């Protein structure tokens, strides 16, 4: 623990030996390409595949009508809504799948796709979620019997009346409308699969870019059990994955079509998306319109918050959330501050946009919540005329107030918010920066400093509240130690770059004293790994990491019994130090773990079960609550409005750190995925429903030039309930960085009456505000 | 009409009859079954498919196989003999310059030419030098460090510490 | 993303290439660097029947000063421009521009001839050529001709280069002593096409009077645009804040940008003004060196 061990998985990636889904080639494999809708909302009048089938190499064309015969044209979403696999009569968003072309190679499939003729009758789409509930808005989900509007669900938490009362009586109330834009994970590997159904054995092997292979297997069995694909006949293999970030949690229509076609033909079917298909049709993230309010005293004490959300879900709610949490963990939005009153509500609507609601490196809508609370904290500080750092110090939940009950019902496990912010400020010499800013303002130069001191909520989750499609959100580890003292361990999670092969080995090494190099880690094959819910929402270390520690501790208990037997002493006389048991007071009288394991196979005590294996399914007693203190310094060109992030320091607290190198790497990466939506990324649609930036030429993923040189550090406040005190970290930076950047930019412009800007904050957006405020070219304050 | 081409990949000449429209990346991945070179986009934006053509880094998704006729291609598989590591590969491992590994081969091949032309690049030069390669996982800090580390090693100097630096 | 079928020709001489053009007519496309053409073919926005790959024709890649001109062969790669010592020392405007074109891998393939012959107002070299008053060498079956850059760009993707001709070189008058030039564009992120771009070339005499002014603008008009009134505003004048501001003002008035994801018309006009001002200053500084 605490050692920056180099990653065990790196060698294969570095030498071109990674095994990603598009690298899989099976004998007789056919390729699938998909014809997509050019319209956001249209009736399908006819589909003609005649010419397509004449293209050399094309073997089949599949439409919604074909799937309808097997009742496979619709599928359930994770949120118990329904989604088309292929449409039979209506398309609901641009780039929706319409016809699948199967061919002997991908070039032929592409040629076949070109020849498909689909006749559409376009209709006026609903693109603005604010208008989706208007009386004259067309009802989009006419497939749902009795549906009379585009409302999906209403959700609320907190005390509405009490909150209203506090707001009515408060000295100060601040309010902003904000939009957390629709964005896309854009992992560098797109999504894909090879579905391989063996007609002789009636067995499906599904190689698939999925973050949750076990859940997928169950879903396949539930959906296709009636045609013989019962769960023991389905094997899902998640090979190496080129980045997930939540985008590889959902089941996309392409996967289902591939399975259906393989099932019918007996041939393996490969489907790998193009980038534009990935950006235009796969699950989006965010898209929350938030009315955020904060009430407080004129001295700067926060008293209450009230958030009202309008959630644009596209044409179906295909969010990847735990079942009971339609807004995910948005209710963490009271943040790191000590106040007792809050009310939050949300309404979700259908529009003619692609479905989704996935993470983008975020634990279930925490980013939206953190953006709202951190923006409003700065807004409030501005209103009361206090430095935002000072105001935060005065409102933080104090270290000794943990465990702390939030007004929305969470129990924060631990934290030391003062220490984190102080460390970040000391590193930057915060008050000198404020002085520099004061000087610059006198000269009309624009410099801003933004803070974000967020609380995350990860490690879903305790079985009493957390499930996906009814399956509780535990996770698992199985450790098998071979006679010579080397081990293999398998998990229900699935790394997409997080370094599980190293981190898990380190946890087991720490608990058992077997060197991490001698512990092989496997994930992603449902035939061999124990059942688990997968990797997303920063849950792997909090759940499977805990399972690894506990399974190892079970083995240590067994080791103790064997050691006592071998040393002919009582168990009570033994002491453990990593790697061996020794007799108290006689350190020379000892048995190493290797000797003990060998004995488990060769000389185990009578009555004891032979072998050296343990499995644990870990059901966390609570979530973990990592936190962070981020400070961003920006300079804005007062003519072009170009924004330069000069400094960015991130102090994270994720409890005990297993591998500092990997944790830091996660933070770096998450920060770049934080600056991305803050300054660059947004999926943009016109009124007709056309996506305006559906390729990487216009969907602006930051390069090494846009990404600043991150400065990172940590404080360590262990989780009291996690077996090794760890909390999870992968998403903290993506959650915490956007408000720090937005706060910095707004701070630069605040002397001129700017109180809020929606992300992504682009030079164009800033320039317009500067023009409106008459400060182009610089206006001394 | 198919064309007969001969392309030398990692020192071995391969002759094939191909459609003119066959992309070099597909020739490498499908015809030669060398899958270290990846595809990440349609618009030559991401750089995952970067290989060296006559020593210059190029995006093999935007070059036709016929254009590489008679040329030398180097892919990630050719950086070092099997089981051994080129200083860049070592640098990426030592400095945690990769997470999911998908952009890595392209990043390595690009860095290869970068160091060839500029053996001692500054951070700024590295950042601009890899600006045609997108990475979604690492935040780039450690890729920059990895390339600097490899540069030192290739110059025969002592390599900088690869321990993570914390505030 | 896979292109449609086409036939592929790889001539080994210019004559052969021109004969192939005659043979295939305007169903043929010239393949130079290919980094504008192939992405369009992969998206199937372009489906030429024949590609004529001119990469194998010797003698089309060079950078040399000769007869009072800097001569650049059409197949000279962007990366060759970046690496050239003549360019670095005397024509830093190319280094400015090249660094901002796409990315290093694309610049290893992309050619200066292709950048110009594509006729895309979003490309960066056209503005530079306007500023430097370049001439484009266009070669046809019978002969080659020199076309002044002002007569080269006709409209959206339309140039003076006819269907049976090939752009073979760019000739740039060697600047006199006291010259300086600079280019910059605003981009949303590295490698993006310009929100707006400005190329400025100046010559200043001993008294500080402007004796030459060339100003070209990127991506703010349907064709690459010369800021003629801005040039006139500088010629014969000293470079004061007022004259520079006037030149910037004219450029921002005379361009015709259209709104897109990069910004609205007003913003782009304003950016043209800022860029022209800044590039005049930078070119003047270089002229003084």
Q: pLDDT value at position B82?
A: 86
Alpha helices (H) along A266-365? 275-281
- Contact between B114 and C104 using a beta-carbon 8 Å cutoff: yes
Q: How far apart are CA B31 and CA A48, in angstroms?
A: 33
Query: Among A57, A644, A700, which would you mutate to test the C interface (most chain C Cβ atoms within 10 Å of its Cβ)?
Result: A700
Q: Quick one: average pLDDT of A736-742?
A: 98
Q: How far apart are the first and last CA of chain B?
A: 61
Query: Among A10, A246, A671, which would you mutate to test the B interface (most chain B Cβ atoms within 10 Å of its Cβ)?
Result: A10
pLDDT tens, B40-58?
A: 998 999 999 999 999 999 9
pLDDT tens, A108-150?
A: 999 999 999 999 999 999 999 999 999 999 999 999 999 999 9
Write phi, then psi, for C70 (nearest 5 degrees).
-85, 120
pLDDT tens, A21-54?
A: 999 999 999 999 999 999 999 999 999 999 999 9
Cβ(C235)–Cβ(C187) below 8 Å? no
Cβ(A656)–Cβ(A637) below 8 Å? no
**Is B32's pLDDT higher than 80?**
yes
Nearest Cα residue to C108 out of C79, C74, C76: C79
Model-wide pTM > 0.80: yes
pLDDT tens, A447-493?
A: 999 999 999 999 999 999 999 989 999 999 999 999 999 999 999 99
- Residue indicated by tokens 């049976």: C164
Q: pLDDT value at position A57?
A: 98
Q: How far apart are CA A475 and CA A463, in angstroms?
A: 11
Cβ(A183)–Cβ(A285) below 8 Å? yes
Q: How far apart are CA C79 and CA C75, in angstroms?
A: 11
Distances (CA, A) of A96 to A35, A42, A82, C259: 8, 11, 15, 28
Strands B50-53 and B56-59: antiparallel
- Contact between A111 and C189 using a beta-carbon 8 Å cutoff: no
Q: How far apart are CA A25 and CA A158, in angstroms?
A: 53
Q: pLDDT value at position B99?
A: 98
pLDDT tens, A317-343?
A: 999 999 999 999 999 999 999 999 999
Q: Quick one: average pLDDT of A630-656?
A: 98
Q: pLDDT value at position C150?
A: 97
Nearest Cα residue to A10 out of C76, B122, B8, B100: B100
C partners (3+ CB pairs within 8 A) are A, B
**Is A613's pLDDT higher than 90?**
yes
Give the CB-side neighbour count of residue C29, counting CA atoms within 13 A. Answer: 18
From A275, A639, A684, residue closest to C274, measured CB to CB: A639
pLDDT tens, B86-113?
A: 999 999 999 999 999 999 999 999 999 9
Q: Which residues contact A264 (CB under 8 A, 6 or more apart)?
A: none
Distances (CA, A) of C92 to C46, C179, C193, C194: 35, 11, 20, 19
Cβ(A377)–Cβ(A756) below 8 Å? no
Q: Point out the residues of chain C with pLDDT beneath 50.
A: none
- Residue indicated by tokens 């000391």: A426
Q: pLDDT value at position A223?
A: 83
What band does A10 get if pLDDT is binned at 50, 70 and 90? very high
B117's tokens: 């032309």
Q: Which residues of A touch C257 (CB under 8 A)?
A: none
Q: Which residues of B touch C103 (CB under 8 A)?
A: 47, 131-133
A330's tokens: 């948005």
Cβ(B14)–Cβ(B8) below 8 Å? yes
DSSP A430-451: HHHHHHHHHHHHHTT-EEEEEE
User: Looking at CA atoms only, how far is residue A677 from chain C in angstroms?
Assistant: 13
Distances (CA, A) of A698 to A242, A610, A655, C40, C79: 22, 61, 39, 15, 24
Q: pLDDT value at position A7?
A: 97
From B21, B47, B59, residue closest to C3, measured CB to CB: B21
Estimate to the nearest angstrom the gap between the alpha carbon of A128 and the chain centroid.
26
DSSP A703-730: -TTTS---EEEE-----SSSTT-B---T
What band does A357 get if pLDDT is binned at 50, 70 and 90? very high
Cβ(A757)–Cβ(A765) below 8 Å? yes
**Is A60's pLDDT higher than 90?**
yes
Cβ(A110)–Cβ(C43) below 8 Å? no
Rounded (10°) CA dihedral B7, A105, A12, B60: 40
Q: pLDDT value at position A537?
A: 83
DSSP A579-618: TEEEETTEEEEEEEHHHHHHHHHHSPPTTSPPS-EEEEEE
B21's tokens: 């429209």
Q: pLDDT value at position A227?
A: 85
pLDDT tens, A676-718?
A: 999 999 999 999 999 999 999 999 999 999 999 999 999 999 9
Q: How far apart are CA A671 and CA A570, in angstroms?
A: 53
* Helix, strand, coil percentages, rounded to 5, for chain C: 40, 25, 35
What band does A363 get if pLDDT is binned at 50, 70 and 90? confident
CB atoms within 10 A of CB A353: 25
Q: How far apart are CA B76 and CA B36, in angstroms?
A: 6
User: Looking at CA atoms only, how far is residue A455 from chain C in angstroms?
Assistant: 31
Which residues of A participate in catalysis according to the annotation? 211, 361-362, 731
What band does A1 get if pLDDT is binned at 50, 70 and 90? confident
Nearest residue of chain A to residue C271 (CA atoms): A640
A602's tokens: 């060769």
Q: Quick one: average pLDDT of A428-432?
A: 98
Q: Quick one: average pLDDT of B7-35?
A: 98
Q: pLDDT value at position B153?
A: 98
From A4, A105, A672, residue closest to B139, measured CB to CB: A672
Q: Which residues contact C15 (CB under 8 A, 6 or more apart)?
A: none
B135 part of contact set with chain A, CB < 8 Å: yes
Q: pLDDT value at position A294?
A: 98
Q: How far apart are CA A427 and CA A649, in angstroms?
A: 8
E strand or H helix that includes residue C203: strand C196-204
Nearest Cα residue to C47 out of C109, C9, C2: C2
**Is A601's pLDDT higher than 90?**
yes
Q: pLDDT value at position A573?
A: 97
Share of chain A above pLDDT 90, in %: 97
Nearest Cα residue to A460 out of A246, A181, A658, A317: A246
Q: How far apart are CA A288 and CA A442, in angstroms?
A: 38
Q: pLDDT value at position A546?
A: 96
A708's tokens: 């600043």
Nearest Cα residue to A578 out of A611, A598, A553, A547: A553
Q: Which residues of A66-101 are buried (b: 16+ CB within 10 A; e: fewer)?
A: bbeeeebbbbbbbbebebbbbbbebbbbbbbbbbbb
From A14, A185, A240, residue closest to B85, measured CB to CB: A14
């Amino acid at each position: 623990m605490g050692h920056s061990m180099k990653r065990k998985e790196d060698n294969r990636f570095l030498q071109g030996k990674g095994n990603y889904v598009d690298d899989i080639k099976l004998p007789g494999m056919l390729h699938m390409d998909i014809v997509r809708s050019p319209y956001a909302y249209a009736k399908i009048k006819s589909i003609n595949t005649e010419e397509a089938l004449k293209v050399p190499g094309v073997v089949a064309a599949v439409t919604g009508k074909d799937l309808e015969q097997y009742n496979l044209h619709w599928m359930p979403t994770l949120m118990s809504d329904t989604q088309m696999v292929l449409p039979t009569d209506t398309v609901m968003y641009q780039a929706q799948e319409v016809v699948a072309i199967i061919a002997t190679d991908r070039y032929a499939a592409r040629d076949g796709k070109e020849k498909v003729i689909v006749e559409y009758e376009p209709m006026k789409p609903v693109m603005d979620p604010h208008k989706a509930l208007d009386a004259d808005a067309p009802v989009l989900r006419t497939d749902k019997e009795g549906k009379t509007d585009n409302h999906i669900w209403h959700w609320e938490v907190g005390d509405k009346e009490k909150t209203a009362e506090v707001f009515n009586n408060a000295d100060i109330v601040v309010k902003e409308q904000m939009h957390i834009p629709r964005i896309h994970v854009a992992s560098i590997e797109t999504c894909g699969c090879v579905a391989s159904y063996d007609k002789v054995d009636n067995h499906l092997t599904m190689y698939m870019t999925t973050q949750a292979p076990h859940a997928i297997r169950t879903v396949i069995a539930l959906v296709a059990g009636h045609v013989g694909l019962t769960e023991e006949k389905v094997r899902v293999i998640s090979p190496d994955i080129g980045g997930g970030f939540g985008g590889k949690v959902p089941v996309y229509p392409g996967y289902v079509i591939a399975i259906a076609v393989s099932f019918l033909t007996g041939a393996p079917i490969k489907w790998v998306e193009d980038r534009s298909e990935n950006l235009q049709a796969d699950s989006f993230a965010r898209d929350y319109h938030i009315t955020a309010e904060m009430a407080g005293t004129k001295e700067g004490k926060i008293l209450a918050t009230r958030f009202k959300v309008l959630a644009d879900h596209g044409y179906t709610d295909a969010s990847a959330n735990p079942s009971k949490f339609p807004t995910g963990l948005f209710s963490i939005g009271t943040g790191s501050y000590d106040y007792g009153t809050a009310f939050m509500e949300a309404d979700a609507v259908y529009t003619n946009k692609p479905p989704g609601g996935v993470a983008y490196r975020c634990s279930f809508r925490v980013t939206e919540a953190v953006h709202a609370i951190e923006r409003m904290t700065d807004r409030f500080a501005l209103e009361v005329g206090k430095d935002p750092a000072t105001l935060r110090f005065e409102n933080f939940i104090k270290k000794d107030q943990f465990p702390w009950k939030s007004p929305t019902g969470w129990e924060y496990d631990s934290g030391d918010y003062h220490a984190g912010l102080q460390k970040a400020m000391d590193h930057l010499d915060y008050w000198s920066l404020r002085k520099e800013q004061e000087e610059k303002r006198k000269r009309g130069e624009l410099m801003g400093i933004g803070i974000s001191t967020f609380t995350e909520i990860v490690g879903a989750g305790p079985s009493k509240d957390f499930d996906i499609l009814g399956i509780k959100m535990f996770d698992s580890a199985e450790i098998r130690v071979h006679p010579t003292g080397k081990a293999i361990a398998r998990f229900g999670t699935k790394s997409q770059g997080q370094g599980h092969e190293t981190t898990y080995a380190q946890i087991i090494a720490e608990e058992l004293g077997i060197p991490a190099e001698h512990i092989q880690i496997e994930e992603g094959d449902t035939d061999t790994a124990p059942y688990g819910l997968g990797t997303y929402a920063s849950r792997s270390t909090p759940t499977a990491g805990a399972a690894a520690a506990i399974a190892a501790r079970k083995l240590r208990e067994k080791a103790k019994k064997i050691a006592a037997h071998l040393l002919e002493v009582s168990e009570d006389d033994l002491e453990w130090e990593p790697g061996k048991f020794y007799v108290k007071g006689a350190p020379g009288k000892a048995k190493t773990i290797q000797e003990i394991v060998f004995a488990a196979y060769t000389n185990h005590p009578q009555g004891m079960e032979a072998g050296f294996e343990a499995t644990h399914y870990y059901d966390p007693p609570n979530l973990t609550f990592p936190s962070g203190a981020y400070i961003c310094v920006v300079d804005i060109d007062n003519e072009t409005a170009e924004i330069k992030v000069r400094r960015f320091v991130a102090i994270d607290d994720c409890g005990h750190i297993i591998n500092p190198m990997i944790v830091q790497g996660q933070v770096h990466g998450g920060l770049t995925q934080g600056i991305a939506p803050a300054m660059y990324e947004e999926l943009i649609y016109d009124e007709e429903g056309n996506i305006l930036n559906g390729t990487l030429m216009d969907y602006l993923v930051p390069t090494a030039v846009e990404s600043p040189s991150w400065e990172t550090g940590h404080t360590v406040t262990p989780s009291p309930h996690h077996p090794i005190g760890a909390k999870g970290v992968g998403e903290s930076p993506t959650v915490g960085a956007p408000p720090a950047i937005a706060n910095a930019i707004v701070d630069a412009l605040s002397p001129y009456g700017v109180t809020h800007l929606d992300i992504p904050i682009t030079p164009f957006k800033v320039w317009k505000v500067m023009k409106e405020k008459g400060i182009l070219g610089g206006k001394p304050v | 009409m198919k064309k007969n081409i001969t392309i030398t990949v990692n020192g071995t000449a391969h002759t094939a009859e191909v459609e003119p429209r066959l992309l070099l990346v597909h020739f490498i991945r499908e015809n030669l079954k060398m899958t270290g070179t990846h595809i990440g986009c349609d618009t030559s934006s991401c750089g995952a498919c970067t290989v060296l053509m006559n020593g210059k880094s190029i995006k093999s998704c935007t070059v036709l196989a016929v254009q590489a006729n008679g040329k030398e291609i180097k892919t990630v598989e050719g950086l070092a003999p099997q089981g051994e590591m080129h200083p860049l590969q070592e640098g990426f491992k030592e400095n945690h310059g990769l997470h999911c590994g998908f952009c890595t081969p392209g990043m390595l091949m690009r860095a290869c030419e970068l160091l060839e032309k500029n053996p001692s690049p500054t951070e700024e030069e590295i950042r601009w030098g890899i600006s045609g390669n997108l990475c979604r996982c690492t935040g780039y800090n450690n890729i920059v460090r990895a390339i600097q580390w490899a540069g030192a090693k290739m110059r025969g100097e002592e390599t900088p510490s690869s321990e993570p630096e914390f505030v | 993303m896979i292109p449609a079928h086409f036939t592929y020709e790889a001539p080994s001489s210019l004559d052969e290439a021109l004969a192939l053009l005659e043979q295939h007519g305007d169903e043929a496309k010239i393949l130079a660097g290919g980094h504008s053409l192939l992405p369009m073919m992969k998206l199937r926005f372009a489906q030429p029947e024949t590609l004529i790959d001119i990469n194998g024709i010797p003698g089309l890649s060079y950078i040399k000063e000769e007869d009072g001109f800097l001569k650049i062969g059409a197949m000279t790669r962007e990366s060759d421009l970046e690496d050239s010592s003549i360019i670095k020392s005397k024509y830093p405007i190319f280094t400015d521009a090249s660094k901002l074109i796409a990315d290093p891998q694309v610049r290893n393939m992309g050619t200066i001839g292709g950048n110009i012959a594509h006729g895309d107002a979003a490309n960066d070299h056209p503005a530079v050529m306007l500023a430097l008053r370049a001439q484009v060498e266009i070669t046809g079956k019978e002969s080659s001709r020199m076309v002044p850059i002002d007569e080269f760009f006709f409209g959206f993707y339309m140039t003076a280069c006819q269907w049976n001709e090939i752009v073979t070189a760019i000739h740039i008058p060697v600047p006199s002593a006291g010259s300086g030039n600079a280019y910059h564009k605003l981009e949303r992120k590295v490698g993006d096409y310009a929100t707006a771009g400005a190329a400025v070339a100046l010559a200043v005499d001993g008294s500080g009077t402007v004796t030459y002014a060339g100003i070209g603008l990127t991506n703010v008009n349907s064709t690459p645009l010369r800021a003629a009134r801005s040039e006139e505003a500088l010629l014969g004048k000293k470079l004061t804040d007022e004259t520079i501001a006037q030149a910037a003002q004219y450029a921002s008035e005379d361009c015709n940008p259209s709104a897109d994801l990069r910004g609205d018309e007003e913003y782009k006009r304003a950016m043209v003004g800022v860029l022209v001002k800044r590039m005049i200053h930078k070119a003047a500084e270089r002229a003084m060196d």
